[in-house]
Structure 1
């Protein structure tokens, strides 16, 4: 009944009434996040650290039943727990979710909610894609036009970019620095690290709209999807501008790892990426880039590489001494379509079911830092649409990165349907049902581009 599946679950006989108290000890010899939970007659937790205690509490919520995930008690009946022993520890150090808040802004309340949903699934890295061609979401006090001008666009592409349609509806928003400090602190309480990303030198049209001198070609905040050929200039003035932007970012985000993007820059510029990477290292941080950064010339060995175009680049990065996060689009892109039916809303990308995600096994699993799902939001314009795209596929991914690779899809299906989906119901998650979308989750007439 536990998801992600623990290393071992030993049931006892009967159950016990739980008053909410826990006898906890930081005496367990194990990796960060490891814990041993004993239920009966009381509840005793031994953990390797505070993270282990936190994950044990998540397991207790699961054992207590779906109503334990509601915002307030709805029953006067006592909470009963099955007598058992649970021994558990995470498989990977990096169990991440990349959330694109640049294409469609996710208000702070909903961003905090996603931190909670990650915590339920024992995920521990929230990678925030804060800037792109379609929007700039980070308040920059030295260069305020970045968020004041770059933070909104007059329209958005209607469905897939090949359709040629536009919504005609303005879209925008940005997080103040204090908003983001709040998100970082809230996540830290749940043992989640927030890794920010400001994408350079491509995916920068929103910044160019605010400060045209930064770009090779001037232009407004982009209202289209896809790869924009416009990129930042590689001159020293533009690099220095971004050094100052990243300095503000570092003041807000304490994460050791800081994202600089580096992807899909047509004709890219290795000098720009290298100079920003060096600046981050000089500030005591570790650069993080998409796998295209491997092509820009020598990078600091501390650079973390996100292997998204497949896994070959990740293997190359390992051979060069980099830490690697596997996130190949064919396996973990949660904006891709979930069904082959015509009722699938805005069907883009390859077919990727929850069963496909569950079957994913990261290459070089014994050498990589971990893995993450990527949630791009070109076609996810509301929290309800994000819920539909992410769940229950994120549940399957959570088990991949937490539990041992021995997996049984039918056993997982039974746990998912019988135990975990009711928890999502209690949390108010509007997931895609296993049988297909509900009528109000479809978007008839909105064009997609299935591959």
Structure 2
């Protein structure tokens, strides 16, 4: 069995094998030198072979060839006993062809040091492949629990290994501000640290009494972006507004509605503290985003927009006065005004705003894109209104949700979401016409970190569910989980070689459990009712 994950569009087995040896060379057309350099770096690390650039036509060669007839991220992989050709229209297709070739080799190719005694053979095949969706990603929440740069780079490698092309970094929230903004240093000096953290969920959750913090310098961000680009992955930043604001208000109290002196929040959940709607606050965020767009070449910039309680705005005389001056009917319109002002600025900088589906409430600027998390209602409403959509419904692709109903599941949160559930994900809501469905750019899984305080826990939550998500977004259409399972089982050997501490099918290992820490489990009926109540305004 040839166990490629995600499954390619076409796979044809041929006779023989190709062996990577000391005589093997790597060559590339100019546009594909990046993918060739990537493949060489992986192969030389594990095989210990030089794999120099080709100078001899007689040498067995892995060749990267430009083929403009192929789709933007498509590739053709031809493995023969005499050589390998990876064809692509551009570098992204070249990266994906390289990833598929690596999966044909022994699992040890993923080791971070030279492995001896291995025959580095790949079966002869023809693979012709292209993704079903252009946006295939994962959101990593580094605000609740900071993830060091080295672990972000590792996560990028794992995304690229599965031909996922987008890393959405959730950089700011009530509990922490994780990106250096040089004009406003207190955002990280004050907003980057909290005195303790909640442990567990629900009314019996406790506090750990341990300070937590960290942030990425602008040099760290440049490293992350460059590393991702060299693997075909786009990094998309998220700066939360107008809610999820407490860490920023702690740093700069003039941004808040409240006069109370705050610190970054130590609890989880929805916080009532929001940004005020003064012109000075809009100017503050213009300055923040000016630094953000210089760091991230992504065409999309995420502005949050979710879970913004309106209580402070309703109770604040100054906010009500500003609403009357601006002719805004209610607080939903006020949030829309706030988002619209930021959208104007990002558009002026050549970027596209996107946000969680709450940005639909009160109206939405024409070019904005919606990240639909509360079921599918937001996606349907947005696509029907002509907005592009990225799907990430919480009942299907929230990767922090519990993976089984058993008592050993660590800090069990919300709905049981199995590998099979994620594999069944279809980003296209059935209610959409073909014209409306064209607005669905793809989808992503969301990995929130309230209950993930270490990289080991992130591994447990993400894998192997992220493998299933990758196939749902790459392969699309009709899929058979029974056909996927044996390929996934074989693929776990690659994850083992990469050192990924994934969740085993028979449950968590003893060190992956969190005995005595309460969770917040829910069944699917509860979740469906909750989502319906949240989306009543936009359905």
Q: What's the TM-score, normalizing by structure 1?
A: 0.97
Q: Name the residue aligned to 1:385.
A: 457
Given the alignment, which residue of 303, 313, 321 partners 1:260?
303
Q: Name the residue aligned to 1:321.
A: 386
Task: Spell out the pairing of 1:17-28 with structure 2 (5 A cutoff).
Answer: 17-19=19-21, 21-28=61-68
Task: Spell out the pairing of 1:163-202 with structure 2 (5 A cutoff).
Answer: 163-202=204-243
Given the alignment, which residue of 121, 124, 135 partners 2:176?
135
Q: Name the residue aligned to 2:419.
A: 354
1:35 counterpart = 2:37: no
* 3-state SS of paired residue (1:127): strand
Given the alignment, which residue of 338, 341, 357 partners 1:272?
338
Please give the alpha-carbon distance, in whole angstroms, between the structure 1 residues aligned to 2:237 and 2:157.
18
Given the alignment, which residue of 278, 285, 295 partners 1:235?
278
Q: Name the residue aligned to 1:428.
A: 499
Given the alignment, which residue of 265, 282, 298 partners 2:348?
282
* 3-state SS of paired residue (1:126): strand
Deviation at 1:44, TM superposition (A): 1.4
**Matched pairs, number:** 449
Please give the alpha-carbon distance, in whole angstroms, between the structure 1 residues aligned to 2:520 and 2:360.
30
* 3-state SS of paired residue (2:124): strand
* 3-state SS of paired residue (1:369): strand
**CA distance change for structure 1 residues 164 and 80 in 2, over 3 Å: closer, same or farther?**
closer
Runs (5+) with no aligned partner, structure 1: none
Is the Cα–Cα contact under 8 Å of residues 19 and 119 in structure 2 kept in the other structure?
A: yes
Q: What's the TM-score, normalizing by structure 2?
A: 0.82
Given the alignment, which residue of 482, 504, 508 partners 1:437?
508
* 3-state SS of paired residue (2:287): helix
Q: Name the residue aligned to 1:3.
A: 5
Deviation at 1:28, TM superposition (A): 4.7
Runs ≥4 residues deviating over 4 A: none
Q: Name the residue aligned to 1:246.
A: 289
1:250-298 deviation line (CA, Å, top 9, x unaligned):
1111111001110000126222111111111111110011000011324
Is the Cα–Cα contact under 8 Å of residues 161 and 225 in structure 1 kept in the other structure?
A: no
* 3-state SS of paired residue (1:32): coil
Q: Name the residue aligned to 1:76.
A: 117
Please give the alpha-carbon distance, in whole angstroms, between the structure 2 residues aligned to 1:366 and 1:270.
25
Is the Cα–Cα contact under 8 Å of residues 78 and 84 in structure 2 kept in the other structure?
A: yes
Please give the alpha-carbon distance, in whole angstroms, between the structure 2 residues aligned to 1:322 and 1:298.
9
* 3-state SS of paired residue (2:203): helix
**CA distance change for structure 1 residues 249 and 367 in 2, over 3 Å: closer, same or farther?**
closer
Q: Name the residue aligned to 2:478.
A: 406
Deviation at 1:316, TM superposition (A): 1.2
Q: Name the residue aligned to 2:434.
A: none
Q: Name the residue aligned to 2:257.
A: 216
* 3-state SS of paired residue (1:420): helix
Please give the alpha-carbon distance, in whole angstroms, between the structure 2 residues aligned to 1:315 and 1:335.
25
Is the Cα–Cα contact under 8 Å of residues 387 and 439 in structure 2 kept in the other structure?
A: no
1:15 counterpart = 2:7: no
1:155 counterpart = 2:196: yes
Is the Cα–Cα contact under 8 Å of residues 205 and 517 in structure 2 kept in the other structure?
A: no
Please give the alpha-carbon distance, in whole angstroms, between the structure 2 residues aligned to 1:344 and 1:338.
7
Is the Cα–Cα contact under 8 Å of residues 234 and 271 in structure 1 kept in the other structure?
A: no
1:119-169 deviation line (CA, Å, top 9, x unaligned):
100000111000000000010111111100000100111111422410111
Deviation at 1:64, TM superposition (A): 0.3
Is the Cα–Cα contact under 8 Å of residues 28 and 35 in structure 1 kept in the other structure?
A: no
Please give the alpha-carbon distance, in whole angstroms, between the structure 2 residues aligned to 1:17 and 1:213.
64
Deviation at 1:403, TM superposition (A): 0.8
Please give the alpha-carbon distance, in whole angstroms, between the structure 1 residues aligned to 2:367 and 2:20.
46
